[in-house]
Amino acid sequence: MKSSPLFVGLDVGGTTMKAGVVDNNGQPLSSISLPTEAYKGQENGLERMCETIRLAVSKAGLGLDQVAAIGVATPGTMDIPAGVILDPPNLNPWRNVPVRRHVHDIFKVPTAFQNDANAAAYGEYWVGAGKGSRSMVLYTLGTGVGGGIVIGDMVLEGEHSHGAELGHMKIEITNPRQCGCGRWGCLEAYASATGVVKRTLDALNQDEGKSSLHAVMKKYGEITAKEVFDAAASDVLAAKIVEDTAFYLAVGTTNMMHTIDPDIVVFAGGMIAAGEFFLERIRYHVKQLAFPVPAAKTQIRYALLGSDAGFIGAAACGRQLHNKQAACA
Ligand SMILES: [Zn+2]
């Protein structure tokens, strides 16, 4: 009997890169992280990627000849069809890095290349919160707001590799906040951890010293989104910030529901530590904002794969490429 194929996924982030071997059912057999150290330059970065892949394979007790395909996910900007990272803000000073060609030249197996947020969405779609669904939208809530869309086993890359930039959907037109991207009124400017902190600091400036968060500011000179969420149960100002965050995410979600009408919308990233009550508030506002049928039927859930979603999804992209090539052979 022919053994079922194995894949390697590599998720390159601004601080670490994580790789793992994943079996044909989406089960990880190993995982390993190395520091990205982008500042050392892109030649070093490409070598580090290959080293992380090799270590993931040896950690699974396998040989490289047992790998059927590889998938690599990186932050943008990028040209996905060309397999090239262009000018990535999180991987400074890398420019025009031919990632797919390099990895393919070294390992000589089919190699897929994908945006990291898209890969995370594909991982959740394959074996995470979106398993069994036909269409899924993913929001990743961290320092920024990432996005991914999968419809019928196809990752929506867009014509110019800028599909599913859900964090930069405009949600505020009058008096908009500035986003980390430099533009105005993006969802990320409101609902990312950074956006939550900025809105909190503005609210504290308007507040006459009643909020318990003044003491946090006084003690540490700064405040985190986690502290705001933790204070929400007993602090009126914090509760309003959290409620507004749920509302902004519901605005973004409703816009996506009215665009593609997905089976499921999934939230991932550090901020989902806020727990079930936060998800309930997003669901509540979606019910107010959306058409009745999608409001009743679209599922809204938290992600299940945590920080493994990226490499599992990257492996899934490798698997998809492998299956396509097998079908054509
Ligand atoms: Zn933006």
5 CA → ligand 1 middle, Å? 40
Rounded to whole angstroms, the Cα distance separating 90 from 256 reads 26
31 CA → ligand 1 middle, Å? 32
165 CA → ligand 1 middle, Å? 9
Which residues, by Cβ under 5 Å, contact ligand 1, an ion?
A: 168, 179, 181, 183, 186
6 CA → ligand 1 middle, Å? 37
183 is written with which tokens? 């533009």
146 CA → ligand 1 middle, Å? 10
321 CA → ligand 1 middle, Å? 31
177 CA → ligand 1 middle, Å? 10
167 CA → ligand 1 middle, Å? 6
Q: Are 146 and 166 in contact (CB under 8 A)?
A: yes
Q: How many CA atoms lie within 13 A of 179 on its CB side?
A: 22
112 CA → ligand 1 middle, Å? 27
Rounded to whole angstroms, the Cα distance separating 172 from 29 reads 44
From first to last of its 329 residues, the chain has per-residue pLDDT tens of: 567 999 999 999 999 999 999 999 999 999 999 999 999 999 999 999 999 999 999 999 999 999 999 999 999 899 999 999 999 989 999 999 999 999 999 999 999 999 999 999 999 999 999 999 999 999 999 999 999 999 999 999 999 999 999 999 999 999 999 999 999 999 999 999 999 999 999 999 999 889 999 999 999 999 999 999 999 999 999 999 999 999 999 999 999 999 999 999 999 999 999 999 999 999 999 999 999 999 999 999 999 999 999 999 999 999 999 999 988 87
Rounded to whole angstroms, the Cα distance separating 70 from 322 reads 9
What does the pLDDT read at residue 2? 61
189 CA → ligand 1 middle, Å? 7
Q: Give 119-151 as a DSSP string.
A: HHHHHHHHHSTTTT-SEEEEEEESSSEEEEEEE
163 CA → ligand 1 middle, Å? 14
62 CA → ligand 1 middle, Å? 42
2 CA → ligand 1 middle, Å? 48
What is the DSSP secondary structure assignment for residue 3, as one 8-state letter?
P
77 CA → ligand 1 middle, Å? 13
What does the pLDDT read at residue 172? 96
145 CA → ligand 1 middle, Å? 9
246 CA → ligand 1 middle, Å? 18
Q: How far is CA 23 from CA 27, 125, 148, 319, in A?
A: 5, 16, 23, 9
* 16-22 β-sheet, strand order: 32-35, 16-22, 6-12, 67-74, 111-115
What does the pLDDT read at residue 30? 98
Q: Give 272-320 as a DSSP string.
A: GGG-HHHHHHHHHHHHHHS-HHHHHH-EEEE-SSGGGHHHHHHHHHHHH
186 CA → ligand 1 middle, Å? 5
103 CA → ligand 1 middle, Å? 31
190 CA → ligand 1 middle, Å? 10
180 CA → ligand 1 middle, Å? 6
171 is written with which tokens? 């949600």
Torsion of CA 236, 237, 239, 244, to 10 degrees: 140
66 is written with which tokens? 């047992």
What does the pLDDT read at residue 93? 96
Q: How far is CA 215 from CA 199, 211, 223, in A?
A: 17, 8, 10
46 CA → ligand 1 middle, Å? 29
68 is written with which tokens? 């059927």
Q: Give 162-190 as a DSSP string.
A: -TT-GGGSB---SSPPBPTTS-BSBTHHH
